Amino acid sequence: GRTVVVTGAASGIGAATAAAFARLGARVIGVDRNVPDGARDFVRADLSSSAGAAAAAEEVRALAPRIDHLANIAGVPGTAPWRTVLGVNVLGLRALTDALLPSIAEGGAVVHLASNVADGWAARVPQLRAFLSHADDAEALASVEDDAEVTGNSYRFSKECVRVLAQAQAAASLGRVRVNSVSPGPVSTPILDDFKRDHGTDKVEGAISLTGGAATPEAVADVVVFLASDGARWVNGSDVRVDGGLGAHRFTEAA
């Protein structure tokens, strides 16, 4: 069977992703700062820094020297301090992926959780690349600390970084491991209220009413599982919107 590492597996989309892989018979190793009661194959880790992610990777390797897939689902909303947002959503995610890529079997896959708030990433590629050019966490964070555009919109910036990172990692792993991202709109998880506080309740509730509800965590998990599957063997460096059509609506309305 396959071995899959799922970060953020204690809650929301991560928990649904872990359950979906487990239903297919995969061995799932969860990574999260919280560990569900009675969980087996679970690594408690703080993924908010490269150091924390590297320590998590060590523990994962001790449990499974070879893995097939890595699903980077852990993330924090923009109501968290901006350093934490960039730490968990970008720096920890990148460090865990870099540390585990050598353990991923040929033909394996990595899936990152981005967001449809990152749809404008292409307009900011130089800034995103500048942030990602710093290998050291402290240097990366220092490079944006005086930039209110970044610190005031840290969640959007973090998910735009994830889109660029997925493509960079896909390009670096061509023919060996595929790397894609998934971009949901609102999903009914414990952090949906934080998104309302961050992006505006009216805006988020308006989006939810347009699509006839928020996504269930399972609706996002199913796409993560698909991207890891053989059915997606030629999908690489792509982002898949899982937003009930919200992105299509915004694009069409803006015309």
Written in H, E and C, the secondary structure of 5-34 is EEECCCCHHHHHHHHHHHHCCCEEEEEECC
Is residue 77 helix, strand or coil? coil
Q: Return the number of the residue (108 or 186) whose C-beta is nearest ligand NAI.
A: 186
Q: Return the number of the residue (51 or 174) whose C-beta is nearest ligand NAI.
A: 51
Q: Length of the chain, please?
A: 255
Q: How far is the CB of 188 from ligand NAI (least distance, A)?
A: 7
Among residues 97, 18, 109, the alpha carbon closest in space to that of 54 is found at 97
Binding-site ranges for ligand NAI (CB under 6 A): 8, 10-14, 32-34, 45-48, 73-76, 88, 113, 115, 184, 186-187, 189-192, 195
The HSE-up count of residue 84 (CA atoms within 13 Å, CB side) is 9
Q: How far is the CB of 174 from ligand NAI (least distance, A)?
A: 25
Q: Return the number of the residue (73 or 104) whose C-beta is nearest ligand NAI.
A: 73
Q: Return the number of the residue (12 or 108) whose C-beta is nearest ligand NAI.
A: 12
Among residues 150, 182, 177, the alpha carbon closest in space to that of 233 is found at 177
Question: Would you say 41 and 4 are in contact if contact means Cβ atoms under 8 Å apart?
Answer: no
DSSP state of 213: S
**Which is the catalytic residue, given 21, 82, 155, 157?**
155
Q: Return the number of the residue (203 or 233) whose C-beta is nearest ligand NAI.
A: 203
For 25, phi and psi rounded to 5 degrees? 90, 5
Q: How far is the CB of 72 from ligand NAI (least distance, A)?
A: 8
Facing residues of 44 across strands? 32
Q: Which two tokens stand for residue 70?
A: 């890595």
Q: How far is the CB of 189 from ligand NAI (least distance, A)?
A: 3
- Whether residue 155 lies in the annotated active site: yes
Distance of CA 239 to the CA centre of its chain: 11
Q: How far is the CB of 15 from ligand NAI (least distance, A)?
A: 7
Is residue 150 helix, strand or coil? helix
- As annotated, the active-site residues are 155
